[in-house]
Every structure is written in structure tokens, then in C-alpha cells.
Amino acid sequence: MTNKLSADTEAALDLVNRTLTEAETCDHAVSVLNYDLETICPEKAMAEQSNVISYLENQSFKLRKNESFVRAAETLFRHRGELSEFDAVLAETLHRNYLKEKNLSPEKRKQFSDVRNQAFLDWLRAKKTSDFSIFAPSLEKIRDLSLEETALREERLPDTYDNLLDDYERGMTAGELDACFGRCLEVLLPMLEKIKGSRKKIRTDFLRRRVTDEEQRRMTDYLCSVIGLDMTRSAWALTEHPFTDGLWYDDARITTHFHPTAFASSMYSVIHEGGHALFEQLQPEENYTHHIRMNKTMGQHESVSRFYENIIGRSEAFIHLIYPETMEGVSERELYEAVNAVTPSLIRTEADEFTYTLHIIIRYEIEKRIIGGTAAIGELPELWNSLYEKYLGIRPENDREGVLQDVHWASGFGYFPAYALGNFYNAMYYRRMKEDLSVENAVRSGNLGKVNSWMAEHVFFSADREDPKTWIRNITGRSFTAEDFLQYLTEKYGALYGL
């Protein structure tokens, strides 16, 4: 703390801490209910459970909208120079949120929450029946409330989509993404054609071998152990769409799904979600005690999950490490090549590392059109299918493998670019990590503790206290760029396919 707090500032900090502790109790309950909703909740109980979630979310919101709390939070912001580093970040965060929510009443907030919860249920039914028309009315409401919510903000960016993007990735704009994604298309599309024309043929038939649920359960436990996840502070369950929920400091839960003839799908879901959970487990505990643990952007979080999934999990060193635990009759090299094979596919979460960015670009282009008013909701299935044909040369045969495959739009727009930004960030700090330690040797020997320690010190430590561009510059000494990621892909897949 730079100075002794004045009486007014100390009183304000005490009120803010007490209120946030109470609000976070509601938030914690919401997280538990959401985890249950997406894992083991009976189908007929989902609507009622969604109502309970909506109620608790609104109770938390009301606590943060209380006039005494708002005055105290604004007092902290005005006197943030007196505060410790963690409390100063809290004051800035509360002020930023205040400007977003100042004109949003609890009643309107409850309405928005109800729409999102119903949209999730409609998406589940629509995906199950592969019928976009079931989800379309809710998606129209999601679009409309996104526009309304943005218009209510006390301060907002001129471009509506930039506001939505900023909710997930502070400081990022569509203009910057247009440039990054344009560069990706410039590099990846020609290289994809070269890969398709390569004489190198990768064997992948064994990835379709039947693997029992029990075998996949054992693999899940093993992979959690290998990457260093503390299972006394974590748990896993099965779900339709894998996700991670950091409920609290000692409770970071992950999910996966089992497909009997696609065991690698669960493997990499576990490693991906385990990366998210490691971020939660290895961040400073002060993030929780000072109420800033939600300050991480989605791009920062996805950088970590995709770092463990791809840069670590699909490396030759990692395949060497886990090879005895996988299958017989297949060489290490064959397994390495198979989990890195480039095959344009329809499902984003199953996409290979090379083509994955194209899936994100498709969603980004569609989101901009939805928010910009140049794409009607009813046109989305055809627009989706056309863009898959344009960029990946394949076309979905139904809505389930097309426009309904992701749950994200049931909550709103602006999230998807975070996955690509995560790739850009992690390629940058992977390059920096290799200056400090032999990553390959550490992974090959099963000593991921060295990797995790480096991540805790350089990547996790300050993520909640710095905006993403400052954060990545402080880690790497360089400004944000997509070039490291494109170089990583070009070198790895050029060697793999003999280009």
C-alpha cells in the first residue's frame, strides 16, 4: 500500500469487500448450478433450474447496484492512488463495470438473464433435433438484447461490435482483428492447398478404434495427472459441450465427452480444459481475496488452454510421454502424425491445429454481419454452410454439424475471436519460454512442473492486473502480433508434410 488510507477510503473499501463477498456467494451458487445443468441435471428439471440461476444472478446484480455500494466503489476509484496494487485494480474494474451497467436496472438485467437461460435450453433442443428453427427465435432475442445492452452503456465505443468484443478482450477492435485474420488467410489458405497436394499420407485409421468409456475414464484421470492438475482442488464430469468452471480458488472443475470411436476427442478436451483449470489453480490467491479473479480476458484464458492442448499436447515430446498409455500396434511417430494430421472438418472443437483458425474466422465474419444488420437470423444456416465451403472446401449436411454446433451464441456475441487470439498469444510466450528452459526435455521426461512454474511466474501472475496488450508485452518484450503463430504453424506443418 503506497499510503495510509484515509478514513473515508478505508470505510469504502470495507463496504465494497463485504458486499462483493455476499455477491460472490450468489455467483458461486450460480456456478455450481450451471455446472450441474450442463452435466447431470435431468432434462425435465432444466427449466426450473434455469429459473433459480436467473434469480440468483439478479440477486448478485442487485447487491452491486445498491447505491451505497456504488458510492463506495466510486470513492475507491477517485482515491485509487492510496490503494494497494490489487485493490487499485479492483477499483478500476468496478468503475469500468459501473459505466457499463449504470443505466441497466435489475428488472432489465433479469429480463436479459431470462432470455439467455431460455436460449441455452432452446439450443440444446435444437442441436439434439438438428433443427435451427427451434433456436432461431431465441437467437433473434439475443441479438436484440446485445444491441440494447450496448446502447444503455454510459460510455461506449462507436462501433457496436467493438463493444461486444471488448467485453471479452479489453482493448481489441474489429479493425485489428480484420488485419490479423486477413494475414492468417493470406498465409494459411495457400499452405492448406500445398498440404492437400502433399505426397505425405498420414495414417489415422487407428484413431477410430473403439475405446470403452471405462478406458477413457482412466485416460482422463491419467492426463489430469500428467499435466499437473491438482485433483484435490478439481473434478471432472461428462457434458454435451466441454467447458471449465473456476468456481473458487480450490474448486476448478472441467468436463469432457466420450465418443467410442473417437478417443482423441476426449484426450484433447481434457488437456484443453485442464489448461483452463491450471490457470485457475496457479493464479495468485490474492485475485480471490481482492475480488479480481474474473479480470482475465477470454483470449488470455484460451491462450493457456490451447497452449496445453496443442503446443504441449500435440508435440512429439508429449506423445513420447503418454505413448505407453494409449494403444498397441501403433508407433510413436504414427501417433504423433495422426493427432496432427490436417484434414478440413466441420466441427470446430474437433478441428486440427492448422485449420482451427479458419473455423474462428468464419464465426467472426458471421457475428459481424449479425450485429451489423447485414445477415438475418433465418439466413445463418446457409451463410454458415457457404463460408465452410469457401474456406475449408466442405459443406455441412445438417444444422447440428453446422450452425448449431457451438453453444456460445446462446450467451451473446464477441467470444469466438478469443480462441484465435489465444493462439497468437501463446505462440508469442512459447517463443519466450524456450529462451529460459528446454521445453521439449521437460515434457519428454514428464516434468511438466517446470513448464507450469514458468507459466505461473510469467503468464498467470499478472493476467488479472494488466490489459492483454500490456500483459503480452511484459511477458515477451514485444507488441502483440499474429506472426509468431503463423511461423509456428508454417515450420511445424511444413516439416510434417515435407513442404
Asked if pLDDT for residue 327 goes beyond 80, the answer is: no
pLDDT of residue 1: 42
Query: What pTM did the predictor assign?
Result: 0.92
Please give the grid coordinates belonging to residue 289: 481475496
Q: By C-alpha distance, which of 118, 168, 109 is closest to 138?
A: 118
pLDDT of residue 326: 60
- Of the pLDDT bands very low, low, confident and very high (cuts 50, 70, 90), residue 180 is very high
Asked if pLDDT for residue 95 goes beyond 60, the answer is: yes
pLDDT of residue 70: 96
* Secondary structure of residue 435 in the 3-state scheme: helix
Asked if pLDDT for residue 265 goes beyond 60, the answer is: yes
Distance of CA 150 to the CA centre of its chain: 22
Of the chain, the percentage scoring pLDDT greater than 70 comes to 99
Q: What is the DSSP string of 315-332?
A: SHHHHHHHGGGT-SSS-H
pLDDT tens digits, one per residue of 408-417: 999 999 999 9
Burial group, residue 304, by CB count within 10 angstroms (0-12, 13-18, 19+): buried
User: CATH class for domain 174-497?
Assistant: mainly alpha
Which has the minimum average pLDDT: 48-52, 109-113, 146-150, 191-195? 109-113
Contact 149, 103 (CB under 8 A): no
The residue annotated as part of the active site, out of 38, 101, 149, 273, is: 273
pLDDT tens digits, one per residue of 38-77: 999 999 999 999 999 989 999 999 999 999 999 999 999 9
Contact 376, 370 (CB under 8 A): no
Whether 273 is catalytic is yes
Q: Report how far residue 90's alpha carbon sits from residue 109's, in angstroms, rounded to the nearest whole number.
A: 22
pLDDT of residue 343: 94
Asked if pLDDT for residue 478 goes beyond 50, the answer is: yes
Mean pLDDT over 123-138 rounds to: 96
Residue-range domain boundaries for the chain: 7-155, 174-497
pLDDT of residue 408: 93
Q: Report how far residue 52's alpha carbon sits from residue 58's, in angstroms, rounded to the nearest whole number.
A: 10
Asked if pLDDT for residue 201 goes beyond 60, the answer is: yes
pLDDT tens digits, one per residue of 421-448: 999 999 999 999 999 999 999 999 999 9
